[in-house]
Amino acid sequence: MDMAAATLRKRPLSVHTAVSNGNGNGFGVGHGAQEQGEPVSPSARLLEDFYIVVVIGIATPVNLPAARAGIEAQLIRYHPRFRSIQVKDASGNMRWVPTTVDLDYHIIYPNLDDVAVARDPDRAVEDYVATLSTRPMDKSRPLWEFHMLDFPTSEAAATTAFRAAGHAVAADAHGRHLGKAAPPASAGAVALAAWVWSFVLLTWHTVVDVASFFATILFLRDPRTLFERANQEPGQKKRLVHRALSLDDVNFVKNAMNCTVNDVLVGVTYAALSRYYFRKTGDADTSKEIRVRSILLVNLRPTTSLQACVNLIESGKESDVKWGNELGFIILPFHIGLHDDDPLQYVRKAKKIVDRKKSSLEVVFTHLASEVILKIFGLKAAGAIFHRMISHTTISFSNMIGPVEQVEFCGHPVVFIAPSGYGPPEALTVNFQSYVNTMMVNLAVDEAQFPDSHELLDDFVESLRLIRGSA
């Protein structure tokens, strides 16, 4: 970071509140919720130590005036989280409060070593992004930044690294179907019996998953493998790496096996972790199968299009826009084993497990349980329980649908999008993001534990190639 940016960060932020309680960060009694600011949701409070990092490759050098104008006109105007901070009210509850935004704090031009950039620009970007996981963010201002890395790499003409606190980002997610509608009377007894049986399975699977959820918090933990985090000290540097896969190949497997894209990606992850495990351990017992688990975050908030939110804001109905996440958790089993004779077995297992998880209200229960625990025991206890649950599993996993056509970042054509993050106590986070005809696999790894993270990316590429060939 250059000296100018460092100097700019020392400026104080002015906080606009309805009424001050004497320290500039409080509220007077008797004012409505609208004046006091929107309450911080339980999901947001649990994600206070989680950070999202999105590496964006652009096709042109950075046009700073255009970038500033675009961020101000779009991001700050239409997303209140990016112009707000969290403040305690007189009752001790956290609320989102509007504040002044100075873009000089949030748009950063780092001063990198010219020799290192010239020698290996790809590595220079990767090294810089890795340092973000060790740099705290100033909570007296909105928790987001754009880091402009204005030099060409093998992937793009320039790179932008966007960092934001997880609780400040309202990510859309597909809604979940929580039960099938009853069939019409004309459908007959067989259809009615099938509908009743589906609810019997839903109830049973939910009971089993809820029991597993509590067991994971109390005592149930994954077997020790090389994927388990070795160093439990907080603040470990995370290296964020990515690799492009062919979305056409993923869709080919999906169509050939009559499954979903998510089934294919889970299967490819099974295969990649298996290849990496047996190569690194030298384990000759190829009949062995190890079961570890991942935490999959699911947003229960109904999906709303960005344009719908913009229309409400421009019509003066900003209070009608629903921001924030309503998060639940799914504990998704991952199987490590070798199926070189039939690579499609990875996808079959993935489909079976994912289908089973769809027939459960686990995510609804975990969402409600999180809110109840936070309300009764407070943030510190809820955070400790949440951390314990995650530390008893091995991996964080997610899959997001991206734009199907090329988009722009403030007038800059986007070449690739690589979202990831840091904060969870696992040593490995796997995220997939589609964009146009590419499926990007993004890994966030404990740098000390996975110094060969690019070899693990190679395993994802090879696993998809083998599965596609078998299909």
Residues annotated as catalytic (active site), given as ranges: 167
Q: Give the pair of three-digit tokens for residue 353.
A: 């497990």
Contact 182, 172 (CB under 8 A): no
| CA–CA dist 103, 249 (Å, integer) | 41
Q: In this structure, what DSSP letter does residue 404 have? A: S
Tally of CB atoms within 10 A around 312: 17
Q: Is 449 exposed, middle or buried (0-12, 13-18, 19+ CB in 10 A)?
A: middle
Q: Give the pair of three-digit tokens for residue 435.
A: 């964009």
| CA–CA dist 156, 415 (Å, integer) | 7
Amino acid making up residue 159: T
| CA–CA dist 289, 224 (Å, integer) | 13
What distances in angstroms separate CA 443 from CA 130, 243, 397, 421, 427, one per listed residue? 12, 9, 10, 9, 10
Contact 445, 239 (CB under 8 A): yes
| CA–CA dist 231, 338 (Å, integer) | 28
Question: Which segments of 16-141 are extended strands (E)?
Answer: 51-58, 84-88, 94-98, 107-108
Find the farthest-apart pair of alpha carbons in the chain and give their distance in angstroms, rounded.
75
Contact 449, 229 (CB under 8 A): yes
| CA–CA dist 410, 59 (Å, integer) | 12
| CA–CA dist 255, 468 (Å, integer) | 11
Cα-to-chain-centroid distance, residue 399: 8
Partners of 159 in beta bridges: 57, 149
Decide the pairing of beta strands 94-98 and 84-88: antiparallel
| CA–CA dist 423, 162 (Å, integer) | 16
Partners of 299 in beta bridges: 327
Phi, psi of 42 (to 5 degrees): -55, -40
Sheet holding 438-446, edge to edge: 238-246, 438-446, 428-435, 395-400, 289-299, 327-337
Q: Give the pair of three-digit tokens for residue 186.
A: 């004309």
**Spatial CB neighbours of 84, under 8 Å, sequence gap ≥ 6:** 37, 96, 97, 98, 99, 142
